[in-house]
A and B are shown apart, each in its own frame.
Chain A
Amino acid sequence: MQRLEAGVFFREHRLTRSGHSMRVWIYAPTTNPNKAKGLVLIAPAGSDCLTGNRLGKDSRPEHLPYVRAGYAVAAYDLDGALPNKATHSQRLAAMRAFRDAGAGVKNARAALDYVLKTYPGIDRDHIFASGHSSAGTVALLSAARDLRIKAVVAFAPATDLRAWLSKAELADVEKTLPGYGKWM
Protein backbone atom coordinates (compact mmCIF):
# COMPACT_ATOMS: atom_id res chain seq x y z
CA MET A 1 0.00 0.00 0.00
CA GLN A 2 1.11 3.54 -0.68
CA ARG A 3 1.85 5.78 2.33
CA LEU A 4 -0.03 9.09 2.10
CA GLU A 5 1.03 10.43 5.49
CA ALA A 6 1.99 9.04 8.90
CA GLY A 7 -0.61 6.41 9.78
CA VAL A 8 -2.49 6.61 6.46
CA PHE A 9 -1.93 3.96 3.78
CA PHE A 10 -3.79 3.83 0.49
CA ARG A 11 -4.40 1.51 -2.43
CA GLU A 12 -6.67 1.74 -5.45
CA HIS A 13 -8.49 -1.38 -6.65
CA ARG A 14 -10.50 -1.77 -9.85
CA LEU A 15 -13.38 -4.15 -10.27
CA THR A 16 -16.21 -4.75 -12.71
CA ARG A 17 -19.84 -4.88 -11.67
CA SER A 18 -22.42 -5.87 -14.29
CA GLY A 19 -20.17 -4.67 -17.06
CA HIS A 20 -19.43 -1.33 -15.36
CA SER A 21 -15.92 -0.59 -14.17
CA MET A 22 -15.67 0.85 -10.68
CA ARG A 23 -12.84 1.83 -8.40
CA VAL A 24 -12.53 1.12 -4.71
CA TRP A 25 -10.07 3.18 -2.72
CA ILE A 26 -8.88 1.40 0.38
CA TYR A 27 -7.32 3.40 3.20
CA ALA A 28 -5.97 1.91 6.41
CA PRO A 29 -4.01 3.13 9.42
CA THR A 30 -1.40 0.41 8.80
CA THR A 31 -0.39 -1.57 5.74
CA ASN A 32 -2.80 -4.29 6.90
CA PRO A 33 -6.49 -3.17 6.78
CA ASN A 34 -7.45 -6.32 8.72
CA LYS A 35 -6.03 -4.69 11.86
CA ALA A 36 -8.24 -1.57 11.68
CA LYS A 37 -10.95 -0.84 14.26
CA GLY A 38 -13.59 -1.35 11.63
CA LEU A 39 -14.50 -0.40 8.07
CA VAL A 40 -16.26 2.73 6.83
CA LEU A 41 -17.84 2.65 3.37
CA ILE A 42 -18.04 6.04 1.66
CA ALA A 43 -19.49 7.00 -1.74
CA PRO A 44 -18.48 10.22 -3.51
CA ALA A 45 -20.69 13.25 -2.82
CA GLY A 46 -21.65 16.03 -5.19
CA SER A 47 -24.29 14.59 -7.48
CA ASP A 48 -27.92 15.66 -7.82
CA CYS A 49 -29.22 12.30 -6.52
CA LEU A 50 -30.40 11.46 -10.03
CA THR A 51 -27.00 10.38 -11.34
CA GLY A 52 -23.89 8.82 -9.84
CA ASN A 53 -20.41 10.16 -9.30
CA ARG A 54 -16.77 9.16 -9.36
CA LEU A 55 -14.14 9.49 -6.67
CA GLY A 56 -11.80 12.45 -6.94
CA LYS A 57 -9.04 13.91 -4.83
CA ASP A 58 -11.56 16.38 -3.45
CA SER A 59 -13.21 13.38 -1.74
CA ARG A 60 -10.16 12.78 0.46
CA PRO A 61 -10.87 15.32 3.23
CA GLU A 62 -13.93 13.21 4.04
CA HIS A 63 -11.97 9.95 4.07
CA LEU A 64 -8.83 10.75 6.03
CA PRO A 65 -10.29 11.60 9.48
CA TYR A 66 -11.69 8.08 9.82
CA VAL A 67 -8.28 6.58 8.97
CA ARG A 68 -6.54 8.86 11.46
CA ALA A 69 -9.04 7.59 14.06
CA GLY A 70 -8.05 3.98 13.37
CA TYR A 71 -10.70 2.85 10.86
CA ALA A 72 -10.16 1.41 7.40
CA VAL A 73 -12.08 3.23 4.69
CA ALA A 74 -13.44 1.81 1.44
CA ALA A 75 -14.47 4.61 -0.89
CA TYR A 76 -16.16 3.55 -4.11
CA ASP A 77 -17.37 4.93 -7.45
CA LEU A 78 -21.08 5.14 -8.18
CA ASP A 79 -22.47 4.03 -11.54
CA GLY A 80 -23.93 6.79 -13.68
CA ALA A 81 -21.29 9.50 -13.31
CA LEU A 82 -21.79 12.49 -15.60
CA PRO A 83 -18.93 13.53 -17.85
CA ASN A 84 -18.00 17.21 -18.04
CA LYS A 85 -20.40 19.22 -20.20
CA ALA A 86 -22.67 16.19 -20.57
CA THR A 87 -25.02 16.06 -23.52
CA HIS A 88 -28.69 15.18 -23.11
CA SER A 89 -28.11 11.58 -24.17
CA GLN A 90 -25.15 11.24 -21.77
CA ARG A 91 -27.32 12.50 -18.93
CA LEU A 92 -30.03 10.05 -19.88
CA ALA A 93 -27.52 7.18 -19.89
CA ALA A 94 -26.16 8.29 -16.51
CA MET A 95 -29.62 8.40 -14.97
CA ARG A 96 -30.37 4.92 -16.30
CA ALA A 97 -27.07 3.54 -14.99
CA PHE A 98 -27.65 5.09 -11.56
CA ARG A 99 -31.18 3.68 -11.43
CA ASP A 100 -29.94 0.23 -12.50
CA ALA A 101 -27.37 0.35 -9.71
CA GLY A 102 -30.21 0.79 -7.21
CA ALA A 103 -29.18 4.41 -6.56
CA GLY A 104 -25.73 3.26 -5.56
CA VAL A 105 -26.79 0.36 -3.33
CA LYS A 106 -25.35 -2.21 -5.74
CA ASN A 107 -22.07 -0.29 -5.89
CA ALA A 108 -21.84 -0.31 -2.10
CA ARG A 109 -22.59 -4.01 -2.02
CA ALA A 110 -20.00 -4.79 -4.69
CA ALA A 111 -17.38 -2.71 -2.88
CA LEU A 112 -18.10 -4.45 0.43
CA ASP A 113 -18.06 -7.90 -1.17
CA TYR A 114 -14.71 -7.11 -2.74
CA VAL A 115 -13.16 -5.67 0.42
CA LEU A 116 -14.27 -8.59 2.59
CA LYS A 117 -12.94 -11.04 0.04
CA THR A 118 -9.63 -9.22 -0.26
CA TYR A 119 -9.24 -8.51 3.45
CA PRO A 120 -11.13 -11.33 5.21
CA GLY A 121 -9.81 -10.32 8.63
CA ILE A 122 -11.77 -7.05 8.75
CA ASP A 123 -13.98 -6.85 11.84
CA ARG A 124 -17.43 -7.66 10.44
CA ASP A 125 -19.12 -6.43 13.60
CA HIS A 126 -17.89 -2.92 12.85
CA ILE A 127 -18.83 -2.19 9.27
CA PHE A 128 -20.31 1.28 8.86
CA ALA A 129 -21.54 3.43 6.00
CA SER A 130 -20.99 7.15 5.82
CA GLY A 131 -21.69 9.85 3.29
CA HIS A 132 -22.27 13.53 2.70
CA SER A 133 -25.20 15.07 0.83
CA SER A 134 -26.22 12.79 -2.07
CA ALA A 135 -23.73 10.22 -0.76
CA GLY A 136 -25.43 10.45 2.63
CA THR A 137 -28.58 9.31 0.89
CA VAL A 138 -26.62 6.44 -0.67
CA ALA A 139 -25.27 5.52 2.78
CA LEU A 140 -28.76 5.41 4.30
CA LEU A 141 -30.17 3.39 1.42
CA SER A 142 -27.25 0.96 1.54
CA ALA A 143 -27.63 0.49 5.28
CA ALA A 144 -31.35 -0.18 4.84
CA ARG A 145 -30.62 -2.82 2.20
CA ASP A 146 -27.36 -4.48 3.27
CA LEU A 147 -27.58 -6.14 6.65
CA ARG A 148 -23.81 -6.38 6.96
CA ILE A 149 -23.73 -2.65 7.67
CA LYS A 150 -24.08 -2.14 11.42
CA ALA A 151 -24.44 1.63 11.73
CA VAL A 152 -24.70 4.59 9.39
CA VAL A 153 -23.54 8.21 9.42
CA ALA A 154 -25.24 10.69 7.09
CA PHE A 155 -24.18 14.33 6.79
CA ALA A 156 -26.85 16.59 5.27
CA PRO A 157 -28.49 13.83 3.24
CA ALA A 158 -31.44 14.39 0.96
CA THR A 159 -34.02 12.01 2.38
CA ASP A 160 -37.05 13.17 0.43
CA LEU A 161 -36.15 13.73 -3.20
CA ARG A 162 -39.67 14.59 -4.25
CA ALA A 163 -39.78 17.37 -1.71
CA TRP A 164 -36.29 18.53 -2.62
CA LEU A 165 -36.80 18.83 -6.36
CA SER A 166 -39.10 21.50 -7.70
CA LYS A 167 -42.23 20.52 -9.61
CA ALA A 168 -40.56 21.70 -12.80
CA GLU A 169 -37.51 19.54 -12.12
CA LEU A 170 -39.69 16.53 -11.34
CA ALA A 171 -41.64 17.08 -14.54
CA ASP A 172 -38.38 17.40 -16.47
CA VAL A 173 -37.06 14.17 -14.95
CA GLU A 174 -40.26 12.33 -15.84
CA LYS A 175 -40.17 13.73 -19.35
CA THR A 176 -36.52 12.78 -19.78
CA LEU A 177 -36.92 9.27 -18.48
CA PRO A 178 -40.55 8.14 -18.10
CA GLY A 179 -41.07 6.18 -14.92
CA TYR A 180 -38.02 7.66 -13.19
CA GLY A 181 -40.12 9.88 -10.95
CA LYS A 182 -42.06 6.87 -9.70
CA TRP A 183 -38.83 4.95 -9.11
CA MET A 184 -37.50 7.78 -6.92
Chain B
Amino acid sequence: MFVVQIPVFLFHAADDKRIPPEHTGRFFFRNFGLHPATRRVLVASGGHYRAMIDQGIPKAIEWLSTLPKTVLPKHTIELPGVWTDVPPSPPEMARISPLSKRQAKTGRHLVLSRIRLPKLDLSTAAARHTFANAAKASLLRGVGGTLVKERIHAPGDQVLIDFVFRAKDSRTGQPETTIKRMVFIPGWSYALSVVTPTARYNELAQQNWASIDSFHVKATKN
Protein backbone atom coordinates (compact mmCIF):
# COMPACT_ATOMS: atom_id res chain seq x y z
CA MET B 1 0.00 0.00 0.00
CA PHE B 2 1.31 3.44 -0.91
CA VAL B 3 1.08 6.79 0.84
CA VAL B 4 0.08 10.22 -0.43
CA GLN B 5 1.57 13.25 1.27
CA ILE B 6 -0.85 15.87 -0.07
CA PRO B 7 -4.35 16.46 1.38
CA VAL B 8 -6.55 13.41 0.80
CA PHE B 9 -10.34 13.19 1.12
CA LEU B 10 -11.52 9.59 1.48
CA PHE B 11 -15.20 8.70 1.34
CA HIS B 12 -16.91 5.36 1.89
CA ALA B 13 -20.33 4.00 2.75
CA ALA B 14 -20.40 1.45 5.54
CA ASP B 15 -22.78 -0.73 3.51
CA ASP B 16 -20.55 -0.79 0.42
CA LYS B 17 -20.54 -4.45 -0.61
CA ARG B 18 -18.38 -4.09 -3.72
CA ILE B 19 -15.33 -2.50 -2.05
CA PRO B 20 -15.49 -2.77 1.74
CA PRO B 21 -14.85 0.40 3.79
CA GLU B 22 -11.77 -1.24 5.30
CA HIS B 23 -9.94 -0.15 2.17
CA THR B 24 -10.22 3.54 3.03
CA GLY B 25 -9.84 2.70 6.72
CA ARG B 26 -6.46 1.08 6.25
CA PHE B 27 -5.34 3.73 3.79
CA PHE B 28 -6.35 6.51 6.18
CA PHE B 29 -4.50 4.85 9.03
CA ARG B 30 -1.40 4.48 6.88
CA ASN B 31 -1.56 8.13 5.77
CA PHE B 32 -2.65 9.56 9.11
CA GLY B 33 -0.51 12.54 10.07
CA LEU B 34 1.09 12.84 6.66
CA HIS B 35 -1.07 15.86 5.99
CA PRO B 36 -3.26 17.69 8.52
CA ALA B 37 -6.06 18.26 6.02
CA THR B 38 -6.47 14.56 5.20
CA ARG B 39 -9.97 13.35 6.07
CA ARG B 40 -11.97 10.15 5.93
CA VAL B 41 -15.76 10.37 5.84
CA LEU B 42 -17.75 7.20 6.50
CA VAL B 43 -21.51 7.34 5.96
CA ALA B 44 -23.98 4.72 7.10
CA SER B 45 -25.69 3.91 3.84
CA GLY B 46 -25.81 4.55 0.14
CA GLY B 47 -23.84 1.60 -1.18
CA HIS B 48 -20.99 1.71 -3.64
CA TYR B 49 -22.31 4.32 -6.09
CA ARG B 50 -25.31 6.31 -4.77
CA ALA B 51 -23.45 7.32 -1.63
CA MET B 52 -20.86 9.11 -3.76
CA ILE B 53 -23.45 10.95 -5.86
CA ASP B 54 -25.79 11.91 -3.02
CA GLN B 55 -23.37 12.58 -0.19
CA GLY B 56 -19.77 12.13 -1.24
CA ILE B 57 -19.36 14.70 -3.98
CA PRO B 58 -21.09 17.54 -2.06
CA LYS B 59 -18.86 16.84 0.95
CA ALA B 60 -15.77 16.66 -1.26
CA ILE B 61 -16.56 20.00 -2.91
CA GLU B 62 -17.03 21.55 0.51
CA TRP B 63 -13.70 20.06 1.65
CA LEU B 64 -11.90 21.36 -1.44
CA SER B 65 -13.24 24.85 -0.86
CA THR B 66 -12.05 24.84 2.76
CA LEU B 67 -8.46 23.97 1.88
CA PRO B 68 -6.58 27.18 2.51
CA LYS B 69 -3.71 28.02 0.23
CA THR B 70 -1.33 27.45 3.13
CA VAL B 71 -2.03 23.71 3.25
CA LEU B 72 -1.67 23.24 -0.47
CA PRO B 73 1.87 22.68 -1.67
CA LYS B 74 3.36 25.58 -3.58
CA HIS B 75 3.25 25.83 -7.32
CA THR B 76 6.99 25.14 -7.43
CA ILE B 77 6.51 21.47 -6.63
CA GLU B 78 6.54 20.69 -10.30
CA LEU B 79 10.10 19.93 -9.30
CA PRO B 80 10.27 17.03 -6.84
CA GLY B 81 11.62 18.95 -3.90
CA VAL B 82 9.20 20.63 -1.57
CA TRP B 83 8.72 21.91 1.94
CA THR B 84 5.31 21.45 3.44
CA ASP B 85 4.00 22.18 6.90
CA VAL B 86 3.10 19.23 9.09
CA PRO B 87 1.35 19.15 12.49
CA PRO B 88 3.41 20.34 15.46
CA SER B 89 4.98 17.93 17.91
CA PRO B 90 6.64 18.61 21.31
CA PRO B 91 9.18 21.44 21.08
CA GLU B 92 12.85 20.64 20.71
CA MET B 93 15.83 22.98 20.56
CA ALA B 94 17.93 23.42 17.47
CA ARG B 95 21.07 25.46 16.96
CA ILE B 96 21.89 27.25 13.76
CA SER B 97 25.59 27.90 13.25
CA PRO B 98 26.96 31.11 11.74
CA LEU B 99 27.78 30.89 8.07
CA SER B 100 31.35 30.30 6.99
CA LYS B 101 33.16 33.08 5.10
CA ARG B 102 32.76 31.10 1.92
CA GLN B 103 29.05 30.77 2.48
CA ALA B 104 28.73 34.42 3.38
CA LYS B 105 30.33 35.47 0.09
CA THR B 106 27.50 34.05 -1.91
CA GLY B 107 25.34 37.04 -1.02
CA ARG B 108 21.69 37.28 -0.31
CA HIS B 109 20.64 33.95 -1.76
CA LEU B 110 22.71 31.53 0.24
CA VAL B 111 23.19 28.06 -1.06
CA LEU B 112 23.65 25.97 2.04
CA SER B 113 23.96 22.57 0.59
CA ARG B 114 23.96 20.60 -2.58
CA ILE B 115 22.67 17.11 -2.20
CA ARG B 116 23.07 14.61 -4.95
CA LEU B 117 21.08 11.49 -4.41
CA PRO B 118 22.07 8.43 -6.37
CA LYS B 119 19.57 6.17 -8.01
CA LEU B 120 18.95 3.34 -5.63
CA ASP B 121 16.70 0.36 -5.45
CA LEU B 122 14.63 1.16 -2.37
CA SER B 123 12.71 -2.08 -2.36
CA THR B 124 14.39 -3.37 0.80
CA ALA B 125 14.16 -1.90 4.29
CA ALA B 126 17.96 -1.86 4.58
CA ALA B 127 18.32 0.17 1.38
CA ARG B 128 15.65 2.65 2.52
CA HIS B 129 17.38 3.03 5.88
CA THR B 130 20.77 3.68 4.25
CA PHE B 131 19.29 6.16 1.81
CA ALA B 132 17.30 8.00 4.47
CA ASN B 133 20.36 8.40 6.68
CA ALA B 134 22.50 9.61 3.78
CA ALA B 135 19.86 12.18 2.86
CA LYS B 136 19.55 13.30 6.48
CA ALA B 137 23.30 13.63 6.96
CA SER B 138 23.62 15.70 3.79
CA LEU B 139 20.85 18.00 4.86
CA LEU B 140 22.16 18.47 8.40
CA ARG B 141 25.58 19.40 7.05
CA GLY B 142 23.90 21.89 4.75
CA VAL B 143 21.79 23.58 7.40
CA GLY B 144 24.83 23.69 9.65
CA GLY B 145 22.92 23.22 12.86
CA THR B 146 22.13 20.47 15.28
CA LEU B 147 18.64 19.26 14.68
CA VAL B 148 17.71 17.18 17.64
CA LYS B 149 14.44 15.82 16.36
CA GLU B 150 13.57 14.37 13.04
CA ARG B 151 11.31 11.69 11.69
CA ILE B 152 12.07 9.70 8.61
CA HIS B 153 9.54 7.88 6.49
CA ALA B 154 10.57 5.90 3.46
CA PRO B 155 7.42 4.91 1.64
CA GLY B 156 7.99 3.43 -1.78
CA ASP B 157 10.58 5.17 -3.91
CA GLN B 158 10.91 8.40 -1.99
CA VAL B 159 12.02 9.52 1.45
CA LEU B 160 10.24 12.04 3.65
CA ILE B 161 12.14 13.76 6.45
CA ASP B 162 10.48 15.97 9.05
CA PHE B 163 12.64 18.51 10.90
CA VAL B 164 11.80 20.36 14.08
CA PHE B 165 13.22 23.80 14.80
CA ARG B 166 12.57 25.47 18.11
CA ALA B 167 13.32 29.13 17.73
CA LYS B 168 12.33 32.65 18.69
CA ASP B 169 10.17 34.48 16.25
CA SER B 170 12.29 37.24 14.76
CA ARG B 171 9.49 39.82 15.12
CA THR B 172 7.81 38.97 18.42
CA GLY B 173 10.72 37.29 20.21
CA GLN B 174 8.33 34.55 21.31
CA PRO B 175 9.47 30.92 21.10
CA GLU B 176 7.91 29.00 18.26
CA THR B 177 8.18 25.55 16.85
CA THR B 178 8.55 25.09 13.17
CA ILE B 179 8.27 21.74 11.52
CA LYS B 180 9.05 21.18 7.90
CA ARG B 181 8.88 18.17 5.69
CA MET B 182 11.35 17.52 2.92
CA VAL B 183 10.62 15.04 0.18
CA PHE B 184 13.61 13.41 -1.48
CA ILE B 185 13.45 11.34 -4.61
CA PRO B 186 16.43 9.23 -5.69
CA GLY B 187 18.13 10.26 -8.90
CA TRP B 188 17.73 14.00 -8.31
CA SER B 189 20.06 16.67 -6.96
CA TYR B 190 18.86 19.26 -4.49
CA ALA B 191 20.36 22.67 -3.89
CA LEU B 192 19.16 23.78 -0.50
CA SER B 193 19.30 27.52 0.04
CA VAL B 194 17.95 30.22 2.27
CA VAL B 195 16.93 33.74 1.37
CA THR B 196 17.96 36.27 3.96
CA PRO B 197 20.62 39.00 4.18
CA THR B 198 23.96 37.52 5.23
CA ALA B 199 24.42 39.94 8.11
CA ARG B 200 20.95 39.25 9.40
CA TYR B 201 21.54 35.52 9.26
CA ASN B 202 24.72 35.75 11.32
CA GLU B 203 23.07 38.07 13.81
CA LEU B 204 20.26 35.59 14.28
CA ALA B 205 22.67 32.70 14.49
CA GLN B 206 24.57 34.38 17.34
CA GLN B 207 21.33 34.66 19.27
CA ASN B 208 20.56 31.04 18.52
CA TRP B 209 17.56 32.00 16.46
CA ALA B 210 16.57 29.85 13.59
CA SER B 211 14.48 32.58 12.06
CA ILE B 212 15.31 31.98 8.49
CA ASP B 213 12.80 33.71 6.27
CA SER B 214 12.35 30.99 3.73
CA PHE B 215 13.96 27.88 2.44
CA HIS B 216 14.23 27.22 -1.25
CA VAL B 217 14.90 23.91 -2.82
CA LYS B 218 16.00 23.68 -6.41
CA ALA B 219 15.80 20.19 -7.80
CA THR B 220 17.44 18.94 -10.96
CA LYS B 221 17.61 15.46 -12.40
CA ASN B 222 21.03 13.82 -12.25
Contacts and interface: CB of A to CB of B under 8 A. Distances in A.
A183 interface: no
B77 A148 contact: yes
B52 A144 contact: no
A98 to B, nearest CB: 17
B2 A133 contact: no
A71 B80 CA distance: 26
A152 B6 contact: yes
Interface in B136-156: 156
A69 B52 contact: no
Q: A-B pairs with the 9 shortest C-beta distances?
A: A155-B52, A159-B27, A151-B7, A153-B60, A153-B9, A147-B77, A150-B72, A65-B57, A69-B61
Interface string B62-84: 01110101001111011110100
27 contacts: A62-B52, A66-B61, A125-B72, A125-B74, A130-B60, A132-B56, A133-B19, A140-B2, A140-B8, A140-B27, A143-B4, A147-B82, A148-B78, A149-B6, A151-B9, A153-B9, A154-B10, A155-B11, A155-B51, A155-B60, A156-B11, A156-B12, A156-B19, A157-B10, A159-B26, A160-B26, A163-B23
Contacts of B64: 38, 71, 128, 151, 153
Contact of A126 (B18, B63, B72): B72
A152 B57 CA distance: 12
Given A65-B58, A155-B52, 17 more contacts: A71-B61, A133-B18, A141-B2, A143-B8, A144-B2, A144-B4, A144-B156, A147-B78, A147-B82, A151-B6, A155-B56, A156-B13, A156-B48, A157-B27, A159-B23, A163-B23, A164-B23
A152 B72 contact: no
A82 B198 CA distance: 62
Given A143-B4, A154-B8, A65 B61 contact: yes
A71 B67 CA distance: 14
Contacts of A143: 4, 6, 8
A156 B61 contact: no
Task: Report the contact-size class of chain A (Cβ under 8 Å from the partner).
Answer: 20 to 34
B19 A164 contact: yes
A156 B74 CA distance: 28
B1 A159 contact: yes
Contacts, number: 116
B3 interface: yes
Interface in A51-83: 61-62, 65-66, 69, 71
B196 interface: no
Contact of B37 (A71, A128, A151, A164): A151
Contact of B57 (A62, A151, A158): A62
Interface string A139-181: 0110110011111111111111001100000000000000000
Nearest to B40: A154
Interface string B30-54: 0000000100000000001101110
